[in-house]
A = this chain, B = another copy of it.
Amino acid sequence: MEDLDTKTRILDAAEKLFSDNGFSAVSLRTIIKAAGVNTASVHYHFGSKDGLIAAVFERRATPVNAERLEMLDDIEAEHRSGPLPLKLVLQAFVFPVVRLRQDPKSERPMFARLMARLLNEPDPMAATIVHDTFTTIFARFSTAFARALPELPPEEIYIRIHFAVGAMAFSIAGPHFFGDHKPQGTQTNINHIMRSLVDFIEAGMRTPVTETVPGDET
C-alpha cells in the first residue's frame, strides 16, 4: 500500500477523504499528510485542487459509465423494436454506481458518495466535471427513457430525470438527518435502498402528466 507511485497515493488518499467529508472541508495539506507526499506534488501532478477533484472522480466514473452503457446496449439488443422495459433501464442507470466498492469498512461505496457530493456541489467547476463525464450517459439514457415511456413528452422526461438523480444523490450522500425518527427494522443496506429507489423512480416516471394550470409560463 506504500509502494505505489505518488500520483496513485494522492488519488487514493484524496478519494477517501473527499467521500467522507466533501471537497471544501478537506484541505490539500490534509491529503498530502495522509498520502505521505510532498506539499507541492499535488500541484505538480494535478495542477490545482479542482484538477485533483476531477482526476479522483474520473478515475472511477469511466468504468462505471462503461458498465451503464453495456447494460443499456444489452437491453436495446434484446428489444430492437417496441418500448423498452423501464425497470431494466433504471437498473442500468442506478446499479453500476453502487456496485464499485473500494472501502469494505464503509456502508456506502466511495464512488457513489463521491458522485453524490459532486452533483450537489455549488461550485461551477463541479458542474463542468459532471457535465463532461455524464453528457454521453445523459443523452443515451434520455432516448432510452423516451423509448420506455412513449406517451410522456420529452420535456417531462427531462424534468423527471432530474428528480430521479436528486433522489439518488441525496439518499446516497445525504447525512442521516433524522436517524432519531428512524423506525425499527429500517434497512440501511445500500442495495436495499437502491432497489427501493428504483421502484420509487419507476412509479414516478410512469405517472401521466396532469394538465397545465394557467399562469405557469416562464
| Chain A residues engaging chain B, CB cutoff 8 angstroms | 21-25, 107, 117, 119-124, 126-127, 130-131, 134-135, 138-139, 142, 153-160, 162-171, 173-175, 177-178, 180-189, 191-193, 195-197, 199-207, 209-210, 212-213, 215-218
Identity of the chain B residue whose Cβ is nearest the Cβ of A161 in the assembled complex: B178
What residues of B have a CB within 8 angstroms of the CB of A205 in the complex? 200
Identity of the chain B residue whose Cβ is nearest the Cβ of A155 in the assembled complex: B186
Q: Are A135 and B178 in contact (CB under 8 A)?
A: yes
What residues of B have a CB within 8 angstroms of the CB of A165 in the complex? 170, 174
Q: Are A202 and B207 in contact (CB under 8 A)?
A: yes
29 A-B pairs with CB atoms under 8 Å apart are A22-B121, A25-B122, A25-B123, A119-B170, A119-B174, A120-B170, A127-B177, A131-B178, A134-B177, A135-B180, A142-B181, A154-B183, A155-B186, A156-B196, A162-B170, A163-B167, A163-B197, A166-B167, A166-B168, A166-B170, A166-B174, A167-B170, A187-B217, A195-B210, A199-B207, A199-B209, A200-B205, A202-B207, A204-B204
Complex Cα distance A25/B122, Å?
8
Identity of the chain B residue whose Cβ is nearest the Cβ of A192 in the assembled complex: B216
**Nearest Cβ in chain B — how far from A184, in angstroms?**
8
Instruction: Output the residue of A170, A209, A216 with the most chain B CB within 10 A.
Output: A170
